[in-house]
Structure 1
Amino acid sequence: MTFNKSIALAVFISFLFSCKEAENAQIDTKIIPVPSHLSINDGTFIINNSTGITYDSAFKDSAEFFKSFIENGSNIQLQKNKSIEFIKDGSIKNSEGYELKISTDKIEIRANSDQGAFYAVQSLRQLLPPEFENGKFNNDSVQISCVTITDEPQFAYRGMHLDVARHMFSVAFIKKYIDALAMLKMNTFHWHLTDDQGWRVEIKKYPKLQTIAAFRDETLIGHYSNSPQRFDGIRYGGYYTQEQIKEVVAYAQQKHITIIPEIEMPGHSQAAISAYPELGCTGEQPIVASKWGVFEHIYCSKDETFDFLEDVLDEVLELFPSKYIHIGGDEAPKKLWKSCPNCQKRIKNEGLKDEHELQSYFVSRIEKFLNSKGRQIIGWDEILEGGLAPNATVMSWRGTSGAIEAAKQSHNVVMTPTSHCYFDYYQSENSNEPLAIGGYLPLEKVYHFNPIPEELSRKESKYILGAQGNLWTEYILNEKQVEYMVFPRILAMSEVVWSTPKHKNYKNFVNRVEHFHKRLEALDINYANHLYEIEGNLTSVGYELKTITSNNTIYYTIDGTKPSLKSNVYTEAIPITKNTIIKAAIFNDKQQLGSLFTQNIVYHKAVAKQITLNVEPHKSYPGSGAAGLINGISGSDTRYGDKEWLGFWGEDLEITIDLGEKTEINSVETRFYNSPGQWIYAPKEIQFGLKKQKIDSIIKIQTSTKNTSEVNLTINKKSRYIYLKIPNYGIIQEGNQGAGNKAWTFIDEIIIK
């Protein structure tokens, strides 16, 4: 009997161990970005004080990185033997590809370059406990699941941007930012160093760039759209010395990251002109800008300006060995060029048609200079205007049209459209989110970004080098806020640019992100956690609630009270037949996780009726489609990119609502979003009728400094149809962001009472 109990106990312990081993295998292989191929094999490999490491001399940097990671993160000291071996393998054709094989007695890393080996190490790093990240793994050994990984990136360009002109961050933080990029197998850091609000790179030939251009007298408080605008009255600024920049560049090179510096021209140059007024068209000395936006003071096209820029670039080239130098090229108002004798003389002498071709001349001249130095230019998609410089690469931010145009002209493109890549946008609809420029870019939208526009042929799509996330810092005051806005969206972007679409799965990704939080905590990264938020949607059967995480429960109320573990458990759509306020939250067995979800539903006469539009909303801002305009749910007061606002770019909109039968209509209400800084303008008028395509009245819409412009029409008539014609605002005027481009129209719920 004792013998049988012993056998049973041994079997049970073996079963527990097997379950635990299987559990660890599942947990320990949650790698971001997801590899091309990963298989879990039987057994584990143990790293302890008898484990050794050897490497081909070509892999010294990667091997030393891993050795330091193990030894600094734990009590383990690696020896010199072949337990862990770095092997040069010429059969791996992609220079960034690798093979990682972990068996019970050995770890093999195969690559054709140190860069590939380095990425293998990043995957291996994620197979280890998070405590290694901060030196708190106290055991003398660690087990790793036996796996085989074969991996390579989808895109050659995998980048993140950081604006330090609006707000500046320490060298230590820049290194920490680079570390994060390296961990996620990104290979490019786009460093935005100059703008209207500050010049951040030391140029020894022009010391006033350090004493004048690097500092502003004060900074805008609150949002740009607030009226009246307020300022803090505190001098702000600084710059990176050339020695600091060399230090950062060398640090990035060790992590196989190329730093692309951005020196803005011809626009976004007011800080430089403040230091050297002769560079402008008027000779006046503007202030270093203390608020955000687009400014009229841009570089003049006279020879003295090009002499200055070439001198600046000569020093920049000494600091940055990158193939590309980013020259900006965006948002350059032409007003002063039109009245400048020097610029008009340049147009005449060069046989140019207008100021747009003058910008093309400006960019091409800088490109010719940089090409002579063995470098290439990259610029925002405005460099297409007036004709693209011969060898330029385009960074497409205003949507995908610039990318399509450039690729069809056989120019290389990096994708970074605002709709999917601007991490300064809000990432949650929670009212307690930190102040941001506007917009709405949740984790899921980033994840589902496809950098290759569907309009391109297979041949043309080869010109898409990759993509990057952008972080503009007008509203980002400190380093913790940088981290909050970047993480976890950078995790999604890393998978966009590294992993192929067939290997991507959002539900699986969310599971890996949840696990990755522990690593971010160990790295002291202030990530945003919106995984425990609820998403709601009104359907034909009722109001549906869902969450992207599993193994938790949604509790809800419809009486206005806060939900608890004693409230209704959500199992199916909630019937909606009247005005309703739903409150819900996610709970585990003990407590609420995440924030409270609240949805106010106005059950008006058009809910669930038929609606048609003459044009589809822009694919970047589709909201919930046409039906979302009459689903009883209004969009955010501050975030135009949510699923209730529909966006249309430069198009006149016609809307027909069919109520099914003649109905007493007392009023029609709707609203439009205002955000001139994002090129979004309420229409100047709205045309209204009670029959299809027939106008009964025209209502003028007053210009508003608020986020939204409301329209409320009193009707008091019976009708089956409601017809709205909404002409687009038109072309954005000079002096405003996006000048010369068509405006966006964003429309919210149409409420019929």
Structure 2
Amino acid sequence: MQIKKTAVLIVFITFLYNCESPIPENQKPQIIPMPMLTESTQGEFVLDNSTGLSFDDNFKISATFLKEFIENGSAIQLQQNNKIRFIQDNAIANDEGYQLNVSPKQIEIRAKTDQGAFYAVQSLRQLLPANFENGSFTSKSTAIPCIIINDAPQFQHRGMHLDVGRHFFSVDFIKKYIDALAMLKMNTFHWHLTEDQGWRIEIKKYPKLQEIAAFRDQTLIGSYDPDQQAFDGKRYGGFYTQEEIKDVVAYAQTRHVTIIPEIEMPGHAQAAIAAYPELGCTGEQVKVAETWGVFDHIFCSKDETFEFLENVLDEVLELFPSKYIHIGGDEAPKTHWEKCPNCQQRIKEEGLKDEHELQNYFITRIEKYLNSKGRQIIGWDEILEGGLAPNATVMSWRGTDGAIEAAKQHHNVIMSPTSHCYFDYKQSDNEGEPLANSGGFLPLEKVYDFNPIPEELSGEESKYVLGGQGNVWTEYIPNEKQVEYMVFPRILAMTEVLWTSTENKDYADFAARVENFHQRLDALDINYANHLYEVEGEVVPAGYQLKSILDNKTIRYSIDGTEPNGTSEVYSGAIPIDKDLNIKAAVFDNDKKLGATFTQPINYHKALGKKIRINAQPSKTYAGSGIDGLINGITGSDTRVNDKEWLGFDGIDLEITIDLGEEMTISSIETRFYEAPWMWIYAPKVIEYKFDEHGTGSKVEIPESQDTHANIKIDLNATTRYIYLRIPNSGLIPEGKSGAGHKPWTFIDEIIIN
């Protein structure tokens, strides 16, 4: 440790001597992800036709990348000299760490490995003008500011996922995706290659996977709601040949990106079963799935299935040199296993307790096979069912419970919870946003707030958290431009979460760097979502508060629904709520409007800002703005339950008390409930109300709705201080419906007291 500190000190003394005194803080580099340590100093290095590279074969990939980036991006042609030097430094502890030292006379890149040097090159890349990215830099020289960077990642697994089963994307796009990961110092691409809706990898031993499993007859359009489904009637599909996969894997290696393939089992297998019906439990001919969701047709546990899977994996292993193979393991209904003679015989022969232990047997058997080939498995957190396979790594997506359980058992964990890592969720409430998974809402700031280490883990247990990744499921992402729109800029937040230490993170500073990074994304022809110039709002004790991500911009607003312009009132503090408001606001740079208009109607009613109690807390995932949000004057989204206003309760009878503070005459009580049976969400059948805690209540039936909302208005003529509401859960989900036999969710919106 002392040697390392001394080496860093020498580097700093040397470059402080060359570059003189530090420059102002506001000129610090705009690098994403933020490095561990940066020191900007006076002076600049001039990159021109006199500049040369020197490196040995240990740094061939990183040096070649830098040479091609400069020469393809500009009119500059590099020579062979020592102005840019790659130096192997075994004193750097982290294999992915590096030191980048820019002085007026030379640039030094120090690293233990080529991978570390490659990340130094990516930082240097971001110090160059953005138009190097597309070859439009026409000058024969450019200046790079003097800087010292000492850097290493916080986590070893920094990944992005892409589902190509629901929608298929070209080899060229996959390479572009890998390029983006490399630029942002991500080292893993999780390639989700098989699904119910399509099998995307050529397996020579089983040609029907290419002929049948890779194509579906038609595709769902729009909403997944079974009562509103429509289809395009067009055959859809495709697959990657083994030669194409070899090409992509080789390409990724030149970017120090490891590709982890995912071959789903035992669930999400309907496409394979459509090609080979004998792999399922029923033997019936099924179609490649045309809708989204979870399907009962999963791989049977008979020996013939394992022979198929082992043969498939043998070909996969030839294509992918990765240490890990992802085997899925998620969302595998046991409906067919419960009735299958082969599966029941397997349970009996192996002394298993039930179908959940059969899943453990299935995963463990595949793990043993892959271990025998020198590989390890990763599975989604459902592989914990029935016991965890001995050497498995768990990818935790259903919150953090799976990760906590696995880490406490001393299994490696990769964090990918829906709450912070699902980039198929909407990122803005703006009108015009593309159709997205309705299960969540994930704005940029929430991604940035992600902490991959669950607080429930001890320091020793947290060592088993390898890192995390962002997931891109493509049910509602039919083309490459939309993939980019959903990924960028949230991937910028994810890479900073995984690379940058917590003490170096600052969201306001990050947002400013994202604004600067837009120029690079433009040059790369990446279709990013720009929500930096949006206004956000919330009810606070003083009224309604507006805020912008960027500190150096102005918010102008109106309260009467008038479109804000350069002469509208400048926001300076919370807006009082003493009447109905229709707030409209926008971000301005001087008099220039930069972003979309924010609109928030507020319905002033008698319970607004009063006290409210409830007998249970909402789910953490669907907590909205808390129970006070039920009487804050704001109505929830018409299309999403995961917003700031809807509160979700899992199978609970609700009891709510509203204290108006004094006796008031009230004429009505209004509210509404979400109705989405395919999501296990049902409106209650009745609502009970009373004004005396110990009195007898009145019961009102809630009208059935053919829409996604059930509305109730109770007309009254009463004087009271307290309002007591009881809202029973609607009861068990009926047979034949998704979630049959379970208690459904109840989602409630604003309670309006007039």
Q: Which residue of 1 aligns with 2:496?
A: 495
Q: Which residue of 2 aligns with 1:160?
A: 160
Q: Which residue of 2 aligns with 1:242?
A: 242
Q: Which residue of 2 aligns with 1:297?
A: 297
Once the 2 structures are TM-superposed, how far is the Cα of residue 675 of structure 1 from its aligned partner? Answer: 4.8
- 3-state secondary structure, aligned to 1:267: coil
Change (3 A) 1:127 1:729: farther
Q: Which residue of 2 aligns with 1:591?
A: 592
Moved more, 355-364 or 500-509: 355-364
Distance in 1 between the 2:457 and 2:739 partners?
Answer: 25
Q: Which residue of 1 aligns with 2:172?
A: 172
Distance in 2 between the 1:683 and 1:499 partners?
Answer: 46
Distance in 1 between the 2:704 and 2:330 partners?
Answer: 26
Change (3 A) 1:86 1:695: farther
Q: Which residue of 1 aligns with 2:635?
A: 634
Q: Which residue of 2 aligns with 1:15?
A: none
Q: Which residue of 1 aligns with 2:749?
A: 748
Q: Which residue of 1 aligns with 2:527?
A: 526
Distance in 2 between the 1:709 and 1:252 partners?
Answer: 51
* Aligned 1:66-85 pairs, distance under 5 A: 66-85=66-85
- 3-state secondary structure, aligned to 2:594: strand
Cα deviation digits, residues 75-111 of structure 1 (max 9, x gap): 1111111111111111111101111111111111111
Could you tell me the percent identity over the aligned residues? Answer: 68
Q: Which residue of 1 aligns with 2:10?
A: none
Q: How many residues align?
A: 733
Once the 2 structures are TM-superposed, how far is the Cα of residue 162 of structure 1 from its aligned partner? Answer: 0.4
Change (3 A) 1:145 1:355: same
Q: Which residue of 2 aligns with 1:564?
A: 565
- 3-state secondary structure, aligned to 1:227: helix
Distance in 1 between the 2:731 and 2:129 partners?
Answer: 56
What runs of 5+ residues in structure 2 fail to find an aligned partner? 1-18
Q: Which residue of 2 aligns with 1:12?
A: none
Q: Which residue of 2 aligns with 1:670?
A: 671
Distance in 2 between the 1:679 and 1:157 partners?
Answer: 34
Contact 1:210 1:239 in 2 (8 A): yes
Change (3 A) 1:676 1:55: farther
- Aligned partner of 1:199: which letter? W
Distance in 2 between the 1:215 and 1:528 partners?
Answer: 31
Once the 2 structures are TM-superposed, how far is the Cα of residue 569 of structure 1 from its aligned partner? Answer: 2.2
Once the 2 structures are TM-superposed, how far is the Cα of residue 335 of structure 1 from its aligned partner? Answer: 1.1
Q: Which residue of 2 aligns with 1:552?
A: 553
Moved more, 435-444 or 169-178: 435-444
- Aligned partner of 2:666: which letter? I
Once the 2 structures are TM-superposed, how far is the Cα of residue 591 of structure 1 from its aligned partner? Answer: 3.0
Distance in 2 between the 1:639 and 1:234 partners?
Answer: 29
Once the 2 structures are TM-superposed, how far is the Cα of residue 551 of structure 1 from its aligned partner? Answer: 3.0
1:108 correspondence with 2:103: no
Once the 2 structures are TM-superposed, how far is the Cα of residue 600 of structure 1 from its aligned partner? Answer: 0.7
Moved more, 641-650 or 64-73: 641-650
- 3-state secondary structure, aligned to 1:508: helix
Moved more, 503-512 or 607-616: 607-616
Contact 1:28 1:127 in 2 (8 A): no
Q: Which residue of 1 aligns with 2:282?
A: 282
- Aligned partner of 1:71: which letter? E
- 3-state secondary structure, aligned to 2:628: helix
- Aligned partner of 2:615: which letter? N
Cα deviation digits, residues 557-613 of structure 1 (max 9, x gap): 222222222322222222221111111222223532111111110111111001223
Once the 2 structures are TM-superposed, how far is the Cα of residue 712 of structure 1 from its aligned partner? Answer: 3.4
Moved more, 642-651 or 158-167: 642-651
- Aligned partner of 1:442: which letter? P
Q: Which residue of 2 aligns with 1:151?
A: 151
- 3-state secondary structure, aligned to 2:399: coil
* Aligned 1:474-493 pairs, distance under 5 A: 474-493=475-494
- Aligned partner of 1:56: which letter? D
* Aligned 1:125-274 pairs, distance under 5 A: 125-225=125-225, 227-274=227-274
Distance in 1 between the 2:125 and 2:734 partners?
Answer: 52
1:712 correspondence with 2:713: yes
Q: Which residue of 2 aligns with 1:99?
A: 99
- Aligned partner of 1:719: which letter? T
- 3-state secondary structure, aligned to 1:46: strand
Cα deviation digits, residues 616-654 of structure 1 (max 9, x gap): 444444322222221101121123222222344565544
Q: Which residue of 1 aligns with 2:434?
A: 434
Change (3 A) 1:389 1:734: farther
Q: Which residue of 2 aligns with 1:543?
A: 544
Distance in 2 between the 1:740 and 1:322 partners?
Answer: 42
Contact 2:508 2:551 in 1 (8 A): no
* Aligned 1:342-361 pairs, distance under 5 A: 342-361=342-361
Q: Which residue of 2 aligns with 1:452?
A: 453
Change (3 A) 1:214 1:521: same
Once the 2 structures are TM-superposed, how far is the Cα of residue 721 of structure 1 from its aligned partner? Answer: 2.2
- 3-state secondary structure, aligned to 2:521: helix
Once the 2 structures are TM-superposed, how far is the Cα of residue 405 of structure 1 from its aligned partner? Answer: 1.3
Cα deviation digits, residues 380-409 of structure 1 (max 9, x gap): 111111111111111111111111111111
* Aligned 1:665-744 pairs, distance under 5 A: 665-675=666-676, 680-682=681-683, 686-692=687-693, 696-697=697-698, 706-726=707-727, 744=745
Once the 2 structures are TM-superposed, how far is the Cα of residue 688 of structure 1 from its aligned partner? Answer: 4.1
Q: Which residue of 2 aligns with 1:6?
A: none
Distance in 2 between the 1:103 and 1:366 partners?
Answer: 54
Contact 1:171 1:248 in 2 (8 A): yes
- Aligned partner of 1:84: which letter? I
Once the 2 structures are TM-superposed, how far is the Cα of residue 703 of structure 1 from its aligned partner? Answer: 7.1
- Aligned partner of 1:246: which letter? K
Contact 2:23 2:41 in 1 (8 A): no
Change (3 A) 1:349 1:452: same
- Aligned partner of 2:442: which letter? L
Contact 1:324 1:377 in 2 (8 A): yes
Distance in 1 between the 2:251 and 2:735 partners?
Answer: 42
Distance in 2 between the 1:307 and 1:735 partners?
Answer: 34
Distance in 2 between the 1:740 and 1:711 partners?
Answer: 27
Distance in 2 between the 1:131 and 1:409 partners?
Answer: 49
Contact 2:703 2:712 in 1 (8 A): no
1:59 correspondence with 2:65: no
- Aligned partner of 1:549: which letter? L
Q: Which residue of 2 aligns with 1:410?
A: 410
Distance in 2 between the 1:60 and 1:690 partners?
Answer: 78
Change (3 A) 1:191 1:656: same
Q: Which residue of 2 aligns with 1:13?
A: none
- Aligned partner of 2:501: which letter? T
Once the 2 structures are TM-superposed, how far is the Cα of residue 731 of structure 1 from its aligned partner? Answer: 7.8
Distance in 2 between the 1:737 and 1:388 partners?
Answer: 28
- 3-state secondary structure, aligned to 2:425: coil
Distance in 2 between the 1:498 and 1:614 partners?
Answer: 42
1:333 correspondence with 2:367: no
Cα deviation digits, residues 25-79 of structure 1 (max 9, x gap): 8567110011111111111111111111111321111011001111111111111
Change (3 A) 1:28 1:96: same
Cα deviation digits, residues 342-386 of structure 1 (max 9, x gap): 111111111111111111111111111111111111111111111
Q: Which residue of 1 aligns with 2:624?
A: 623
Cα deviation digits, residues 256-301 of structure 1 (max 9, x gap): 1111111111111111111011111111111111111111111111
Cα deviation digits, residues 500-558 of structure 1 (max 9, x gap): 11100000000000000000000000000011111112222222211112333222222
Distance in 2 between the 1:54 and 1:736 partners?
Answer: 67
- Aligned partner of 1:665: which letter? I
Change (3 A) 1:679 1:158: farther
Q: Which residue of 1 aligns with 2:381?
A: 381
- 3-state secondary structure, aligned to 1:594: coil
Change (3 A) 1:414 1:369: same
Taking structure 2 as the reference length, the TM-score comes to: 0.93
Distance in 2 between the 1:299 and 1:444 partners?
Answer: 40
